[in-house]
Amino acid sequence: MCQRWDSQTPHGHTRTPANYPSSGLEHAQNYCRNPDNATRIWCFTMDPMKRWEWCDVPVCGWLERSPDWLIEATPNNRYPGCHGPDKVLDDNYTTYWNPISEQRSWYIIFDFAVTYNLSKIGVSNYGDTSHDISTFHFQTSEKRKTETRETNKTGESVADPYDWEDVLMVTDVVARTCKLQEFGGFSATGRFWKLNITKTHGAWQPWLREVTFFGARAQHVNDPEPTAESHLPK
């Protein structure tokens, strides 16, 4: 457990936001940082017996997914439970999401709980020519504006609580294969992610087997390149 950089307990120190401006400490709370050109990110700890410790550097790769990431999606009222959006995160290529919607577009919102930097997304189509997706766009939102949606007098949502930014637009997803198709060429940072499917090859609703994400937990962009271990207590 890390000590907040703007706190002097349990360890008094000089690595304060005031002493190290432009080092990403102002809003660092108790996250690992590298204000003084150490070899890696580190933090003071909440353990009075342990002044500081190194932090793990995030590993970049295909993310281990959690069903907890699902917070909202186009529903399937006809087959609840069987073909829900959780089926795209279950690492099982025999199960798929089958949303039913009056609108001819479908979406899933993921909440990764912490901020990630992503550079690739993978999708696995059902493998036919009716339900395989052809066009989607991918968006991110750093935060939710409010915890509760604004509603009008009849209780309907009147405002989208996210600040969606377009990350990627894909129009050439191939049909008749359930092989994972990867789409990269972007770099985006956020906690909330939205997959919007706008077109399928046969104009039916999409049947989607899996969605995967490539990236790493985000580090502060101002973290300097580490060169020395000058914060080591004397």
Binding site for Ca ion (CB under 5 A): 87, 90, 92, 95, 209-210
Least distance to Ca ion, CB of residue 180, Å:
11
Least distance to Ca ion, CB of residue 208, Å:
8
Residue whose Cβ sits closest to Ca ion: 95
Q: Which of these, 219, 220, 232, lies nearest to 54 by C-alpha position?
A: 232
Least distance to Ca ion, CB of residue 126, Å:
10
Burial of 223 (0-12, 13-18, 19+ CB in 10 A): middle
d(CA 36, CA 232): 10
Least distance to Ca ion, CB of residue 87, Å:
4
Measured from the CB atom, the residue of 54 and 93 that comes closer to Ca ion is 93
Measured from the CB atom, the residue of 6 and 128 that comes closer to Ca ion is 128
Measured from the CB atom, the residue of 26 and 86 that comes closer to Ca ion is 86
Q: Which of these, 187, 139, 141, lies nearest to 163 by C-alpha position?
A: 141
Least distance to Ca ion, CB of residue 92, Å:
4
Measured from the CB atom, the residue of 73 and 218 that comes closer to Ca ion is 73
- CB–CB of 94/182 below 8 Å? no
d(CA 206, CA 134): 9
Measured from the CB atom, the residue of 90 and 223 that comes closer to Ca ion is 90
Q: Which of these, 111, 116, 89, lies nearest to 187 by C-alpha position?
A: 116
